[in-house]
């Protein structure tokens, strides 16, 4: 069966510090991968998605970046965090070319920028 892992579960970082959140998927090959953020009081916002190694599409201009160094690894980074980067970050995967695009979510990371 497929599983998705995210870490860390919670993170408190000062403004201006770097960020690295990691997501890995097991039990599937060549998945589509996604990073979402939920800011306080708002819905899930798609940040990045990837259909393959090294292929990243950005949905929202921001100071965040994403990378996919391996087939089942997706990393969200920032060189300098802003207060507005606080939120709940979710990684998700879906079957490549799946007809329904159903997505499966990881446990999430709660990021607080102070």
Partner 1 sequence: ILNVEQSPQSLHVQEGDSTNFTCSFPSSNFYALHWYRWETAKSPEALFVMTLNGDEKKKGRISATLNTKEGYSYLYIKGSQPEDSATYLCASSGSARQLTFGSGTQLTVLP
- In sequence order, what are the residues at sequence separation of 6 or more whose Cβ sits closer than 8 angstroms to the Cβ of residue 43? none
Among 11, 13, 22, 45, binds partner 1 (CB under 8 A): 45
Nearest approach, Cβ of residue 101 and partner 1 (Å):
5
Among 11, 46, 53, 56, binds partner 1 (CB under 8 A): 46
Residue 8 binds partner 1, judged by CB under 8 A: no
CA distances from 30 to 26, 42, 59, 93, 96 (A): 11, 31, 21, 10, 7
Nearest approach, Cβ of residue 74 and partner 1 (Å):
14
Give the C-alpha separation, 94 to 8, whole Å. 22
Nearest approach, Cβ of residue 96 and partner 1 (Å):
9
């Amino acid at each position: 069966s497929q599983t998705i892992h995210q870490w860390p579960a919670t993170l408190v970082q000062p403004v201006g510090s770097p960020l690295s959140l990691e997501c890995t998927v097991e039990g599937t090959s060549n998945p589509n991968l996604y990073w979402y953020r939920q800011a306080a009081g708002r819905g899930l916002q798609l940040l990045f998605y990837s259909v393959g190694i090294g292929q990243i599409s950005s949905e929202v201009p921001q100071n965040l970046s994403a990378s996919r160094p391996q087939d089942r690894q997706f990393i969200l980074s920032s060189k300098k965090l802003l207060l507005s980067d606080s939120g709940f970050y979710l990684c998700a995967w879906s079957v490549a070319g799946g007809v329904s695009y159903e997505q499966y979510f990881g446990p999430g990371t709660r990021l607080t920028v102070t």
